[in-house]
Amino acid sequence: MAPTKAPDSSRRSDRSRRAIHDAALALVTEVGYRRTTIEGIAARAGVGKQTIYRWWPSKAAVLMDAFLDLAGRSAEGAGSGGEAQSDEAAQGIPDTGDLVADLKLVLRATVDELNDPVLEAPTRALTAEGIVDAKLGAEFVHRLLDPQLALYVTRLRAAQEAGDVRAGVDPRIALELLIGPLMHRWLLRTLPLTHAYADEIVDYAVGGLAPRP
Amino acid sequence: MAPTKAPDSSRRSDRSRRAIHDAALALVTEVGYRRTTIEGIAARAGVGKQTIYRWWPSKAAVLMDAFLDLAGRSAEGAGSGGEAQSDEAAQGIPDTGDLVADLKLVLRATVDELNDPVLEAPTRALTAEGIVDAKLGAEFVHRLLDPQLALYVTRLRAAQEAGDVRAGVDPRIALELLIGPLMHRWLLRTLPLTHAYADEIVDYAVGGLAPRP
Amino acid sequence: MAPTKAPDSSRRSDRSRRAIHDAALALVTEVGYRRTTIEGIAARAGVGKQTIYRWWPSKAAVLMDAFLDLAGRSAEGAGSGGEAQSDEAAQGIPDTGDLVADLKLVLRATVDELNDPVLEAPTRALTAEGIVDAKLGAEFVHRLLDPQLALYVTRLRAAQEAGDVRAGVDPRIALELLIGPLMHRWLLRTLPLTHAYADEIVDYAVGGLAPRP
Amino acid sequence: MAPTKAPDSSRRSDRSRRAIHDAALALVTEVGYRRTTIEGIAARAGVGKQTIYRWWPSKAAVLMDAFLDLAGRSAEGAGSGGEAQSDEAAQGIPDTGDLVADLKLVLRATVDELNDPVLEAPTRALTAEGIVDAKLGAEFVHRLLDPQLALYVTRLRAAQEAGDVRAGVDPRIALELLIGPLMHRWLLRTLPLTHAYADEIVDYAVGGLAPRP
DNA sequence: GAGTAAGCGAGACGGTACGTCGTGTCTTATC
DNA sequence: GATAAGACACGACGTACCGTCTCGCTTACTC
């Protein structure tokens, strides 16, 4: 029942962990996920293969951790850098009382993130992997997506209380009305993903969610 | 510019082509896309590896053709089998005058397709591959998705003429308001994909698209 | 018992046969025997593969015929070109009464042939193939070697009658005393193969074969 | 100049090396050199293909090492087994004062070796390969043949000092007078290779080398 | 402060699949 | 009916990675 030998994480080399993260992200960006290999990551990180296999079960798991680390570091950098906070992940969705404006702000930020060339390759890789591998997909959703979506739920509940959204609407469905079209366009590359598109989606969705006259 | 020797497709063995399609679909369903190999497909189809490499550039391309072939055959079977046609791909979206009802019908059918265990594995595999490989993704969209989406455009334009949808709405965006949430839930497996969900999405979306009172 | 279908050799294309011979010899000389392939010969000869498989059982057999053809043509060329005949294959070993001189003449000619860059590659290839493949070796010996060796037997018998060689000596063994060392040095490339070497071999061998004083 | 990454031979698995040797020899004997494949050797040895490619450049090189290992082991076995030594490779050619008798002893042993069914297949394969591949041939001569031939040189020099062989004779040529005919008959399979033949060759050759009366 | 046990870099190992090349058979169209 | 052309099933090639397994080496923690 017990795993064959749990490594002692207190003795883990932080230096190696970071090097592996960096190498993984760099390789995925440079050569793509498919051609990124564990051997390649190890070589680039100046690390033995076993050090990777000791701490991660798969290439996707390495990338997931690396990506979360990256997200964490960039959030931290943003947090310490300035007082004006646009990072919705850490701060939540603003509530100025104007639901449409607030959502447009957030969706535009999401569009910018999805279009960020540094984030694109790993995000696509992890998403694709999660689509095929249910276990990994669940982890992806739980660690990356859910925290973000929870912010929408919060804001939408507030909107319901304020009377901007009908009482009967399930926020988890409402949120998908906003996020779904964005992801669809980004994943399938059907048409360019722009701020204008985000705005339009918000307009239509909020229109559909608003109380009936 | 010219590829290094184009094979003569008039001499192509139809028997092999079909065997390869069948083997590819069977393996993807049985062992998953990752563990499906070209060697495995060749062995199962009773075919030399070279026969696969001669006609397809990659495992994903084989699967794409196999999938299109499957879709074509099932559509044909449905067409010849009965007069009552639920296959929207071949027939287009019905136009009974009731936009909400028509869309619910179609989206429920889409939900059923996505939940069909036979189609699930290959669809996920192709979608995931297309997310990472832009070239393949473009082909996927062009050959599989676009024809379906065109039907929505047609129906939505009719709805605009009938006054059920505002004149300024771009049908390609409206359609994503319907499809996006479905795909989002299916791809990320956040919550179960049901007829009820489809109905709700239609209600909200059409609400948002309807002419302002 | 009968082969599956004997082709009608009266309808055989001479043009193809020659083209195949030429292509085979050229390729063996240019890229070596190992890297010479049936496909390569066919392509170079502008011939279908089947035309080769129809008439020859193996790559080695093609080369053997090609080589015999080459030998025949060069002998013919030599025969029609001049009256002074040094081609021992067609003419036999000269008998001037001086056994040592006659043998030196012939062995020097053999040395020259073995050192001829045009003949080297195919000869080595056929010899090597014959060493490993007994059937092919037998054919090689029968068609190429035996006719040459028979000339030695003739000359050595004459020498026995003339009293230059002991009566009890088996000419087939005596001949190997002359040819063996030459071939050994040529095949294994232990030391350079020169006229001086040929002369010395003749001196020693004839010394050993001469009547005891 | 440097090869693309030299493996660390101190970490080499001796178990694998021996298994590969054994498998190579067994397969060459059982199915012949042509039909012996690297894949076959690896499978039979229970070894990954890469382990062969890591340490040897070609099938022939594997066989060469295997053969030398075999020769070494059999010599060792002979050396430890009894005091009466007939293994000329380890002990040199005996010098009883009777040159003819000594050479006959050695050449008969060589005949026995060449007729040994265990040694025949690999010896033929290596010889044939060396005939076509100059590099391999040089290695074959250097590692297998030269050490044996050096013994002849030693014995023949002693014979020259004892006055059994003329002073002017080059031992390297004299030796070919003995070995050449044997190899010729064995390689080309013209006639059976017997003790009687070896004796006759010695008689003729020594006759030709002896001081002129 | 010596002993020892873990993580570590390195990389050899048994494997699986890759994508390519050549074999010998077969089919199609041409002469 | 032989031919040029080449698709086919098959088998082997040599390479790339996989995940496991030693090796020494370094670096804590324990006695």
pLDDT in tens, D194-206: 999 999 999 999 9
Q: Is B19 on the interface with A (CB under 8 A)?
A: no
pLDDT for A4 equals 54
Separation of alpha carbons B52 and B70, rounded Å: 18
CA distance C25 to B49: 33
Whether B188 shows a pLDDT value over 60: the answer reads yes
Q: D103: number of CA atoms within 13 Å, CB side?
A: 32
- How many Å apart are B12 CA and F2 C1'? 25
Q: Which chain D residue's Cα is nearest to C149?
A: D190
pLDDT at B78 over 80: no
pLDDT at residue C83 in the model: 45
Please report whether residue C6 resides in a domain.
no
Within a domain: residue D86?
Answer: no
Strand E reaches within 7 A of the B30 CB: no
Which of C34, C133, C137 is closest, CB to CB, to D132? C34
Residue B125 domain-assigned? yes
Structure tokens at B22: 């069948």
CB contact under 8 A, D32 and C132: yes
With bands split at pLDDT 50, 70 and 90, how would you rate the model's confidence at B85?
Answer: very low
User: What pLDDT, on a 0 to 100 scale, did the predictor assign at position A86?
Assistant: 46
* Closest residue, CA to C1' of E28: B11
Range of the domain at B98: 92-209
D-C interface (Cβ pairs under 8 Å ≥ 3): yes
Does B104 have pLDDT greater than 80?
yes
B131 contacts in chain A (CB < 8 Å): 124, 127-128, 131, 187-188
Query: Among partner residues C137, C180, C187, which is closest to D189 by beta-carbon distance?
Result: C137
CA to C1' distance (Å), from A32 to E13: 29
Pick the range with the lowest mean pLDDT from C103-107, D115-119, D178-182.
D115-119
CATH number, domain with residue A145: 1.10.357.10
Would you tell me how many other CB atoms lie within 10 Å of the CB of residue D44?
Answer: 17
Residues B201-213: pLDDT tens digits? 999 999 999 997 6
Could you tell me the CA-to-CA distances from D30 to C76, C131, D177 in Å, in that order? 44, 17, 34
Q: A181 vs B181: CB contact, 8 Å cut-off?
A: yes
Average pLDDT of chain C is 89
Is the Cβ of A33 closer than 8 Å to some Cβ of chain B? Answer: yes
Q: What is the pLDDT along chain A (213 residues), one digit of tens a residue?
A: 444 567 888 889 999 999 999 999 999 999 999 999 999 999 999 999 999 999 999 999 999 999 999 887 776 665 554 444 444 445 688 999 999 999 999 999 999 999 999 899 999 999 999 999 999 999 999 999 999 999 999 999 999 999 999 999 999 999 999 999 999 999 999 999 999 999 999 999 999 999 976
Distance from the B142 Cα atom to the nearest Cα atom in chain A, whole angstroms: 9
CA distance D198 to A205: 102
pLDDT at C38: 97
d(CA B194, CA B179): 14
Distance CA B53, CA B56 (A): 5
Q: CA-CA distance, D147 to D134, in Å (whole number)?
A: 19
Checking each nucleotide's C1' against the CA of C4, the nearest proves to be: E25
pLDDT confidence of residue A75: 67
User: Can you give the distance from the CA of residue C67 to the C1' of nucleotide E22 in angstroms?
Assistant: 23
List chain F nucleotides near protein: any atom < 7 Å from a Cβ: 1-23, 28-29
Does any domain span residue B180?
Answer: yes
Q: Which nucleotide is nearest to D36 (CA to C1')?
A: F12
Check CB contact under 8 Å for C181 and D173: yes
DSSP element (H, E) containing D162: helix D146-162
The integer distance in angstroms from the CA atom of C35 to the C1' atom of F17 is: 30
Percentage, residues of chain B above pLDDT 70: 89
Average pLDDT over residues C5-24: 87
Residue D99 has what pLDDT?
Answer: 95
Residue C174 sits at the chain D interface (C-beta within 8 Å): yes
Closest alpha carbon to B5 in B55, B58, B42:
B55
D with B: touching (≥3 Cβ pairs within 8 Å): no
What is the model's pLDDT at position B88?
A: 47
Q: Quick check: is B57 in a domain? A: no
* Domain assignment present for B49: no
Which nucleotides on strand E sit less than 7 A from a protein beta carbon? 6-28
Q: Give which of A54, C16, A34 is closest to B130, Cα–Cα.
A: A34
Nearest to D193 by CA among D203, D183, D205: D183
Q: A209–B213: do the CB atoms touch at under 8 Å? A: no
Is there a contact between D137 and C188 if contact means CB atoms under 8 Å apart? yes
What is the model's pTM? 0.89
Which residue from C minimizes the CA distance to D170?
C200
A and B touch with 3+ CB pairs <8 Å, answer yes
pLDDT for D78 equals 57
Assess if residue C104 is contained within a domain.
yes
Three-class SS of residue C86? coil
pLDDT of residue C88: 46
pLDDT tier, B87 (very low <50, low <70, confident <90, very high otherwise) = very low
Q: What share of chain D is helix, strand, coil (3-state, %, to 5)?
A: 75, 0, 25
Give mean pLDDT, residues B99-126.
94
C138 interaction partners in chain D (CB closer than 8 Å):
189
Specify if A187 maps to a domain: yes
Distance, angstroms, CA B54 to C1' F9? 14
Task: For residues C148-158, give the mean pLDDT.
Answer: 94
DSSP string covering C104-166: HHHHHHHHHHHH-HHHHHHHHHHHHHHHH-HHHHHHHIIIIIHHHHHHHHHHHHHHHHHTSS-
Q: What is the number of structural domains in chain A?
A: 1
